[in-house]
């Protein structure tokens, strides 16, 4: 299992190659990074039955946030991170699917997840929260494919 900061660095590198080629200005804000990491964590479990990283998210006002990424975002470098094929598949899929959206859109999208809503129970919309978003609740948000519908 990877360190979340390695995954965040890999997301930054892939994201900028896709959405900011030729050194253009990137719109990868800290808020957007948290959401891409959150969706990547869920997607990786959905596809491979294992977590991309062990770190947790907390249910903050603007959606899922990881404290380590929060304190280290500005320092994410351009270091090379060797990804497995599965990790790269997940990150590219999430970046291509969600990266085109604004941070605000992704914030609102993450607010639709039951795992996030559970972490915010008893709090008003603007009240600070620090409850961990439980991994078992993230699993419950993964859509179930019913092959009888095919």
> Is pLDDT at 5 greater than 70 in this prediction?
yes
Is residue 47 assigned to a domain? yes
Is residue 149 assigned to a domain? no
| Banded model confidence at residue 42, pLDDT cuts 50, 70, 90 | very high
Boundaries of domain holding 116: 4-142
> Is pLDDT at 87 greater than 90 in this prediction?
yes
Q: How far apart are CA 35 and CA 64, in angstroms?
A: 7
Residue with tokens 């190659």: 17
Is residue 51 assigned to a domain? yes
Average pLDDT over residues 10-21: 92
Is residue 148 assigned to a domain? no
pTM of the model: 0.93
Is residue 150 assigned to a domain? no
Is residue 63 assigned to a domain? yes
- Residue 130, number of CB atoms within 10 A of its CB: 11
Element containing residue 72 per DSSP (H, E): helix 67-72
Is residue 21 assigned to a domain? yes
How many distinct structural domains can be found in the chain? 1
Q: Per-residue DSSP letters for 8-29?
A: HHHHHHHHHHHHSGGGPPP---
Chain Cα centroid distance, residue 113: 12
pLDDT of 63-75, one tens digit each? Answer: 999 999 999 999 8
Is residue 129 assigned to a domain? yes
N-terminal to C-terminal alpha carbon distance within the chain? 34
Q: How far apart are CA 133 and CA 111, in angstroms?
A: 12
């Amino acid at each position: 299992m990877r360190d979340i900061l390695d995954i965040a660095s890999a997301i930054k590198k892939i994201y900028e190659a896709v959405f900011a080629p030729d050194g253009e200005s990137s719109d990868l804000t800290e808020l957007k990074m948290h959401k891409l990491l959150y969706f990547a964590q869920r997607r990786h479990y959905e596809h491979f039955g294992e977590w991309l990283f062990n770190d947790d998210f907390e249910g903050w006002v603007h959606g899922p946030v990881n404290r380590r990424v929060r304190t280290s975002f500005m320092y994410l470098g351009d270091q090379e991170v060797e990804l497995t094929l599965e990790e790269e598949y997940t990150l590219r899929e999430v970046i291509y699917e969600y990266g085109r959206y604004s941070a605000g859109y992704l914030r609102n999208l993450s607010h639709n997840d039951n795992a996030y809503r559970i972490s915010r129970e008893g709090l008003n919309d603007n009240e600070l929260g620090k409850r961990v978003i439980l991994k078992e609740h993230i699993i419950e948000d993964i859509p179930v494919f019913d092959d009888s519908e095919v």
